[in-house]
Amino acid sequence: MDLVAEIGYEQYKGIAKFQNRKLENEEQLGIMFEDLRNTSNDHWAPTSSDLPEANETHHEEDNDKEADCDEDNPSDAEDGTPTSGKATKRHHVAEKDKVKKPKSAGGHWMQEQMARIVELNEKTTASCESIVLARMEESTVCSINIVMDLVKARGVVCGTKLHFIATQIFTKKAEKEMFMTLDTPEERFEWLSMKHEWMMRHKD
């Protein structure tokens, strides 16, 4: 025992002063540990002759794990409510911002864009029509020039009756197209002469 005491004194310095000291707070300790015994009512004890059931053991282990989780993460329950509240608050703020935005702004912008598209379409249509008319006029002038060149090529010069008749009848599209269907200069000259005679007979 002396050897054990010496080893204890060396390992735990300062315990020698408690060697001869009486037990302190004896009355309080008596109250705390009064009637202390293992009844095995709420848990299994090694001294009990009955073995614990498997489901009870698992149930107790699950309860211990849940208790440990609660102790390890005490802030989850506390932080859950404020986080939800903040998220809900942000959601309400976002909804208010959506409500505050004027719905007529998008509609007004759309109307302006549609008006611009219609205006550009009208300008484009007018421009296309003017181009087509100009080309038709150019085509008409070109056709008249071509026809009159063919008339002059057969010896019908300006100042003659046939030349005057040609200037009168070739202003009509049908007459020009009919004249252009003839293949040779002789056929064209013969057709123009017959046209002149027919007009002279039916001028009244």
- Report helix angle 103-153 to 161-169, nearest 10: 160
Q: Per-residue pLDDT tens for 131-171?
A: 766 765 666 555 788 888 888 887 888 888 888 888 888 88
Which residues are CB-neighbours of 176 under 8 A, at least 6 positions away? 143, 144, 147, 170
Q: pLDDT value at position 77?
A: 45
CA angle 68, 70, 71 (to 5 degrees): 65
Q: pLDDT value at position 66?
A: 58
CA angle 181, 132, 116 (to 5 degrees): 160
Distance CA 119, CA 112 (A): 11
DSSP secondary structure string for all residues of 40-74: -SSS--TT-SSPPPHHHHHHHHHHHHHHHHHHH-T
Distance CA 126, CA 119 (A): 11
For tokens 């002469």, the residue is 193
Which tokens hold the place of 110? 């759309």
3-state secondary structure of 168: helix
Distance CA 180, CA 167 (A): 15
Q: pLDDT value at position 133?
A: 62
- Whether residue 75 contacts residue 83, with contact meaning beta carbons closer than 8 Å, is answered with no
All residue ranges of the chain with pLDDT < 50 are 1, 56, 76-78, 80-81
Q: Per-residue pLDDT tens for 46-61?
A: 666 665 555 545 555 5
pTM: 0.32
Q: pLDDT value at position 131?
A: 76
Mean pLDDT of the chain: 70
CA angle 177, 182, 186 (to 5 degrees): 135
Q: Where are the alpha helices (DSSP H) in the chain?
A: 2-11, 26-32, 54-72, 75-100, 103-153, 161-169, 173-180, 185-201
